[in-house]
Structure 1
Amino acid sequence: MGADINVDVLVIGAGPTGLGAAKRLNQLNGPSWLILDSNEKAGGLASTDVTPEGFLYDVGGHVIFSHYKYFDDCINEALPREDDWSTHQRISYVRYKGVWVPYPFQNNVSILPKEDQVKAMDGLIDAAMECRVANTKPQNFDEWILRMQGVGLADMFMRPYNYKVWAVPTTKMQCQWLGERVAAPDLKTVTKNVILNKVAGNWGPNATFRFPTRDGTGGIWIAVAETLPKGKKMFGKDNEVVKVEADKKVVTLKSGKTIGYGKLINTMAVDHLVEAMGNQELVKLSKGLFYSSTHVIGVGIRGARPERIGDKCWLYFPEDNCPFYRATIFSNYSEFNQPQADVKLPTIALANGSKPSSSDAKEGPYWSIMLEVSQSSMKPVDEENLLKDCIQGLINTEMVKPEDEIVSTYHRKFDHGYPTPSLEREGVLKELLPKLQDMDIYSRGRFGSWRYEVGNQDHSFMLGVEAADHIVTGSVELTLNYPDFVNTRQNNERRLAQTFAFGAASEAKSNGTNGTQELPTRERAASNVSATGGHSRKSSKQVK
């Protein structure tokens, strides 16, 4: 008995990865395809929620910066007007001993108290001397930190902060994922800045970033989804995938409908995928993958943005005087991320927990803070009191004052928050992903392929694009297989030249070629490189 629907390529999940795959399949104008998602709207882990009071919160700290021209072209097509976007210079700090230290912490030792400057410089000098004679590579993230920054900075910032982020000690993480995500300090520059009492300039690929003017990050992906043919999208709770029969190449949905496929691009968490497959060998293998959960907390406050907040973007908190590791001043990203000043809202409570003097609704203006808290079996969280504890943490870190009026709160837990780059990860992925691909299942995305180093929105989108290209043209999946290559900031010629011709594959076929003449610059550049080669469900395993 055949399936209810049959397609050449089925895409599970309409987050950035699934939309990247669908976008590219639609441009190639070759195989038949369909995209599914159990949510009513596109976005996945890059969605945006709106509180009843009108405050917007992304489901995590998302901003737009890009390693790929194709990614830029697709989101600019979806949001083409100049006023669709705001461009920001990152203003970011680390809160340490009551002082705002400019990010990155390790480049701004000059801001620290004198005794901590001495500890940091001692460690940096020891690390530099060790690097000169070391003949082995660091075996884990903790060893990398000590090798690059020394014990002083490790104990002050890197160890406590990364534990708060990953909910696992740095000794249990590998270090191959780091790339451009962690700044390695230059000893001479740090020393000069300490002596001259100077602050280091902005660092990193997101020193300048874009943000949509309206509808938050989720608005980008809703707009991208709207560029796809309506008849090839199946969104809504009835379209949740409940079973994947890899041998029959059939997917069963919650509604009972079945879909047959030739190739499957999966973007749900790979541990959930293998559970849906019922493949006990792969389920057992996936138990070697670890993750942490993320709580996103939002606090809407009445009043003009205070001077102490200014134009800050996102802020880091390594100390234990607050449960959150990062705070984003979400109202600074767009004037439409909170209600307009003439909207009247009652005060829920003062920040110190006391009742307001009046329950009458009053006008604004308003501003907002978004907080992130990690959780795992190694780092438990008092979920029932987390919102209250976070607001107290905001007072402890002088982000808000006890008498500030809170008019809105938001709390949402994401079971799969961060895919942990654990020591075991590569061993699992090198076995699991090829086994799935042998079954014509391409598992891609933040949790689909479980590589955090290519887990930003641009990476995730391109993981889908490149999976589609591989299926149709056999081209190399650079982002999946060569994270360091796509993350190389000096590789600007490749990025600027990279583009995708609409309908390239179909044109090549009509010309009697195999399509190689029309391949994007990215694939041609990769010809000298050897290839190696959604849906929300309950978790199967957390970090242990």
Structure 2
Amino acid sequence: MIVILGAGLAGISASYHIGHERCVVYEQNTYAGGHIHSEIRDGFTWDEGPHVSFTKHEYVRSLFADSTEYVEYPVFPANYYKGSWIPHPAQTNLYAAPQAVREECVRDFLAMREATEKAEFASANYQEWLEFAYGKTFAQQFPAAYTRKYWTTEPSNLTTDWVGGRMYFPAVSDVLEGAQHPLEKSTHYITTVRYPKQGGYISFAQKMLTGANVEYGKKVSFTSFSERVVHFSDGTSMHFNTLVSTIPLPILIQQSDAPAEIKQAASELSCSSVLLVNIIANHPTQRKNNWMYVYDEDKYSSRINFTELLSPANGVEGKTGIQVEVYFSKYKTAKESQEEIAAAVSKEMVEMGLVKSLQHIDAVHTKWSAYANVIFDHSRREALNTIYTWLEQFGLVREDGDLEPMVDWNAKFGEEKSAKDGSLFLAGRFGQWNYFWSDDCVLRGKYLSTVI
């Protein structure tokens, strides 16, 4: 049997595509889905953040569609900036920003574009990329501020290899026109999304979950790569010939027979954690934006979504379910308790007009997730390479571009399958320590079925 660690989307996809009859999946929780698990509480369906499917991969679209009924709709995210609501992305919707900020942003943007047209530009870090793309004023007021909240570190501490199409590099004409009035076109990389009609985002995985051999309550306590055995906290163990690990790479390495220098490399892999503050207010949704980004650095709130706008079945009629994300990491530690942060966030919702008053709040509960986003700092690539190189002696076959944050799946499925000789495989955002979304996790599992 092929041993798979973790029943998140990558692990379940691997088992489904390889064949459930050939795999056994070990999961520490009492449920499958990992970060796409959906929880029903107080009549509301809560995901772990605003999961929506906007994949262009027809295979994944069909797989999700075969799993459950879904709703499909256009999305209109928004940005909150010092009392103003600005359509997303802000760089091409500056008409909604305060006049002084708008004028300075446009002036700096044009000056930067003029300068970069006269000389070649190469950014050494994300801060330089932001200033190159948007000019210093916009960079500092908007994405740099948000970086400190969402990525929990200075943009200068981040590389640029993860950016891809996730940050819109605007045309001069779009910035100038968007500073005067709304554009007739959308410049956001997401235009329409799909979401399960009922049951939360986890429902998209139902087809892959059917028939899976999952053993729950199996938390990995130690992995012996040399003896090819995984030990669990309940005292049991499992020998393996082929291992697929989707659990966080630092945990896999730290709780193993890896030498000190490899464990040191694992400790240099950084990620953020998220505190989800879930608020129920006894009035309808106050804004129709599907999700919102909060740029104000004096607020805990980083990103906000409404359960009932994901799908009407996710909410309760006449009420609103608001989920707020608050991020921390080794770069930005929490200085208040979860209860204190939740109380502060509740007040922020009133200030932003998303909750009518504190008296309208029926319930507040929190959920902590230790693994939210991989932080693409300057130590990631070298640390990852050190770990991968060491794992080669135990059956890991290096893949083209395995240090890159993202994968071109069309190219990946077309390349020569060098990993066919392997017996140790990594999968998923935290298993591979990269920038995977849900479609990437599905496709990674599908790819593994071609090499195992």
TM-score (norm 2): 0.88
* Paired residues of 2:177 and 2:183 also in contact (CA < 8 A): no
Deviations 1:236-271 (A, max 9, x none): 21x222121111211122232222222211011000
Deviations 1:381-413 (A, max 9, x none): 323401101001111212212255222222011
Residue 218 of structure 1 corresponds to: 202
The alignment status of 1:446 with 2:429, answered yes or no, reads: yes
Map 1:187-266; keep pairs closer than 5 Å. 187-195=172-180, 197-199=181-183, 201-221=185-205, 223-229=206-212, 232-234=213-215, 236-237=216-217, 239-266=218-245
Choose 1 or 2 for highest CA Rg.
1
The alignment status of 1:324 with 2:277, answered yes or no, reads: no
Residue 456 of structure 1 aligns with an amino acid whose one-letter code is: W
Residue 179 of structure 2 aligns with an amino acid whose one-letter code is: V
Q: Distance in 1 between matches of 2:222 and 2:118?
A: 54
Q: Distance in 2 between matches of 1:191 and 1:199?
A: 10
Partner residue of 2:376 out of 421, 431, 447: 421
Q: CA deviation at 1:434?
A: 4.0
Q: CA deviation at 1:305?
A: 3.1
Partner residue of 2:145 out of 160, 164, 169: 160
Q: Distance in 1 between matches of 2:232 and 2:443?
A: 26
Partner residue of 1:298 out of 278, 286, 293: 278
Residue 413 of structure 2 corresponds to: none
* Paired residues of 2:16 and 2:209 also in contact (CA < 8 A): no
1:246–1:137 distance in 2 versus 1, CA, 3 Å: same
1:406–1:198 distance in 2 versus 1, CA, 3 Å: closer
Q: Distance in 2 between matches of 1:437 and 1:464?
A: 20
* Paired residues of 1:98 and 1:397 also in contact (CA < 8 A): yes
* Paired residues of 1:180 and 1:204 also in contact (CA < 8 A): no
The alignment status of 1:272 with 2:251, answered yes or no, reads: yes
Q: Distance in 2 between matches of 1:198 and 1:205?
A: 17
Give secondary structure in 2 for the equivalent of 1:262.
coil
* Paired residues of 1:138 and 1:144 also in contact (CA < 8 A): yes
Give secondary structure in 2 for the equivalent of 1:418.
coil
Residue 380 of structure 1 corresponds to: 333
Greater mean deviation of Cα atoms: 425-434 or 100-109:
425-434
Q: CA deviation at 1:150?
A: 0.6
The alignment status of 1:102 with 2:87, answered yes or no, reads: yes
The alignment status of 1:58 with 2:50, answered yes or no, reads: no
> Aligned residue pairs: how many?
421
The alignment status of 1:12 with 2:1, answered yes or no, reads: no
Partner residue of 2:362 out of 379, 391, 407: 407
Residue 418 of structure 1 aligns with an amino acid whose one-letter code is: N
Q: CA deviation at 1:451?
A: 1.1
Partner residue of 2:39 out of 41, 49, 60: 49
Residue 166 of structure 2 corresponds to: 181
Residue 201 of structure 1 aligns with an amino acid whose one-letter code is: K
1:259–1:100 distance in 2 versus 1, CA, 3 Å: same
Q: Distance in 2 between matches of 1:134 and 1:318?
A: 32
Give secondary structure in 2 for the equivalent of 1:291.
coil
Q: Distance in 2 between matches of 1:125 and 1:305?
A: 38
Q: Distance in 2 between matches of 1:287 and 1:134?
A: 39
1:91–1:33 distance in 2 versus 1, CA, 3 Å: same
Residue 33 of structure 1 aligns with an amino acid whose one-letter code is: C
1:133–1:288 distance in 2 versus 1, CA, 3 Å: farther
1:109–1:188 distance in 2 versus 1, CA, 3 Å: same
Residue 487 of structure 1 corresponds to: none
Give secondary structure in 2 for the equivalent of 1:422.
coil
Partner residue of 1:121 out of 106, 120, 124: 106
Residue 449 of structure 1 aligns with an amino acid whose one-letter code is: Q
* Paired residues of 1:26 and 1:228 also in contact (CA < 8 A): no
Deviations 1:353-391 (A, max 9, x none): xxxxxxxxxxxx211111000012432332340110100
TM-score (norm 1): 0.74
* Paired residues of 1:17 and 1:461 also in contact (CA < 8 A): yes
Map 1:498-513; keep pairs closer than 5 Å. none
Q: CA deviation at 1:105?
A: 0.6
Q: CA deviation at 1:462?
A: 1.5
Q: CA deviation at 1:131?
A: 2.0
Residue 392 of structure 1 corresponds to: 347
* Paired residues of 1:433 and 1:449 also in contact (CA < 8 A): no
Residue 130 of structure 1 aligns with an amino acid whose one-letter code is: A
1:286–1:436 distance in 2 versus 1, CA, 3 Å: same
Residue 138 of structure 1 corresponds to: 123
1:366–1:266 distance in 2 versus 1, CA, 3 Å: same
Q: Distance in 1 between matches of 2:175 and 2:430?
A: 37
* Paired residues of 1:313 and 1:330 also in contact (CA < 8 A): no
Q: CA deviation at 1:112?
A: 1.8
* Paired residues of 2:92 and 2:179 also in contact (CA < 8 A): no
1:410–1:437 distance in 2 versus 1, CA, 3 Å: farther
Q: Distance in 2 between matches of 1:203 and 1:253?
A: 48
Residue 480 of structure 1 corresponds to: none
Q: Distance in 1 between matches of 2:391 and 2:49?
A: 29
Deviations 1:300-327 (A, max 9, x none): 1112334xx1x21000100034211100
Structure 1 residue ranges (4+ consecutive) displaced by more than 6 angstroms after TM superposition = none
Q: Distance in 2 between matches of 1:318 and 1:92?
A: 14
Residue 346 of structure 2 aligns with an amino acid whose one-letter code is: I
* Paired residues of 1:65 and 1:205 also in contact (CA < 8 A): no
Deviations 1:58-85 (A, max 9, x none): 1122111214222223222322xxxx21
Q: Distance in 2 between matches of 1:61 and 1:93?
A: 14
Q: Distance in 1 between matches of 2:330 and 2:380?
A: 18
Residue 71 of structure 1 corresponds to: 60
Give secondary structure in 2 for the equivalent of 1:416.
coil
Residue 265 of structure 2 corresponds to: 285
Q: CA deviation at 1:225?
A: 4.5
Structure 2: 5+ residue stretches without partners: 396-423
* Paired residues of 2:350 and 2:358 also in contact (CA < 8 A): no
